[in-house]
Amino acid sequence: MDLYITAFLIVALFTILGSGVWIGLSLAGVAWIGMELFTTRPVGDSMVITIWGSASSWTLTALPLFIWMGEILFRTKLSEDMFKGLAPWLEKLPGRLLHTNIIGCTIFAAVSGSSAATCATIGKMTLPELKRRGYPDSISIGTLAGAGTLGLLIPPSIIMIVYGVTANVSIARLFIAGVFPGLILAGLFMGYTIIWALLHPDQIPPADQNLTFGQKLHESRHLIPVVSLIAAVLGSIYTGVATATEAAALGVVGSMLIAAMQGELSWKNFRDSLIGGTRLYCMIALILAGAAFLTLSMGYIGLPRHLAEWIIGLHLSPLALIAALMVFFIILGCFLDGISMVVLTMGVLLPTVEKAGIDLIWFGIFVVLVVEMAQITPPVGFNLFVLQGMTQRDITWLGRQAFPLFCLMVAMVLLMYFVPGIATWLPQQMTG
């Protein structure tokens, strides 16, 4: 019976989504259908209480603030300054300026929180410059597609806030847990770029400038604003001075100061950043509200409990469970965006994960990693959409260029499974 109910609700969800209805409303609609048909609970009261509760969460306040911070910085010269500060140090490294994609995304991810914003901001600056200097489009675009996903893993991260609210775990600890995995993944991307450059030396243009050490240090002054902002936001969380929400407010103030110092804090930019952040947050909030109601509905029907019992009955090892979930999320990522994936599945999966003895902080980083993979898998890979708009390339071609970096993310999941301290050690230090 549970199988028929599940199949019915899945078909109903994809039918409503396919008709063009917004994701948040689709989730709420399927929840209403499920409760109306398969439970005796009053639907109206449950819907109002659940949606109000999800929308009025104080923890969720960090989300619109981090989004607004990213929108403000998106309209400054921050990305251009990062290129100026990084480029002189990369001339001797195999692959040279290709690494500006990866390092630039790593740095910008620490002040953005959005994969698409990271990919778009860095791409607007690096792709024309790399093309002008003669670097191949395939590796330039491929490394940007992969590195852009670091916007989700390196804190502050929008998807971590969504997971933290959904799973009821500390967002500050999640942020800290993402630091080492994010840096290691960036290192893997750089390692791949170095190997590619060594195998294709004829496709890497020669160095066009030889600066002295003093000149390199002088150029590095352009990195001071962004490094200072990262230190203020993440440092305040790690030291316990501020909560994630307070650090987000600090980030907004810091981003406005940077914009003011660069002469970019005009009324138009302020208004556009506020409107852009509001639009994005309203979309996410509607999805979260619909998903909260769907989670409640499925709980009343009993599907999460029965699914957890079924999976436990399979007697899968933790590794087999993680492998199965990774495949599940990768397939789901072909059709849904990252936030929808998290809010749709956590209510069902978390009881199973907890019974398997998997740490929820570790699992949160795992979820972010597999959602990152979904950002570069056709047909609904958000980073691929961003790159398609910038390069006018076919999305399947973009997916092929990003595939090696997709494989590195799979390797990162396996590494994190066998060395869980990569994700859990730093949060444990934070909590004593």
Please give the Cα distance from 157 to 110 (Å, whole number).
8
Contact in structure between 189 and 210 (CB atoms under 8 Å): no
**% of the chain at pLDDT higher than 70:** 91
The answer to whether the CB of 291 falls within 8 A of the CB of 344 is yes
Give the Å distances, CA to CA, from 150 to 109, 181, 362, 381: 6, 10, 17, 14
- Of 48 and 125, the one with more pLDDT: 48
Q: Region 189-208: what's the mean pLDDT?
A: 86
Determine the Cα angle at 120 with ends 243 and 273, to 5°: 55
pTM given for the model: 0.75
Lowest mean pLDDT, pick from 28-37, 209-218, 233-242? 209-218
Burial class (CB in 10 A: 0-12, 13-18, 19+), 421: exposed
Residue 392 near residue 127 (C-beta atoms within 8 A): no
Is the pLDDT at 1 greater than 60? The verdict is no
> Among 104, 181, 195, which residue's Cα sits nearest to residue 363?
181
| pLDDT tens digits, one per residue of 78-124 | 767 777 787 788 777 888 888 888 888 888 777 766 677 677 777 77
CB 102 within 8 A of CB 118: no
What CA–CA distances, in Å, run from 41 to 37, 50, 58, 278, 297? 10, 13, 28, 34, 9
Q: Answer whether residue 156 shows pLDDT above 80.
A: no
Residue 337: the pLDDT is 66
Task: State the pLDDT at residue 191.
Answer: 93
pLDDT for residue 172: 85
pLDDT confidence of residue 115: 75
Is the confidence at residue 412, as pLDDT, over 90?
Answer: yes
Q: What is the mean pLDDT of residues 344-368?
A: 86
Please give the residue that has the higher pLDDT: either 5 or 99.
99
* Contacting residues for 102 by C-beta, under 8 A, at least 6 apart: 143, 147, 186, 189, 190, 193
Please check the confidence at residue 135 and state whether its pLDDT lies above 60: yes
Residue 126 · residue 140 · CB < 8 Å: yes
Task: Provide the pLDDT for residue 366.
Answer: 94
Q: What is the pLDDT, as a whole number, of residue 187?
A: 93
Tokens of 153: 């893993």
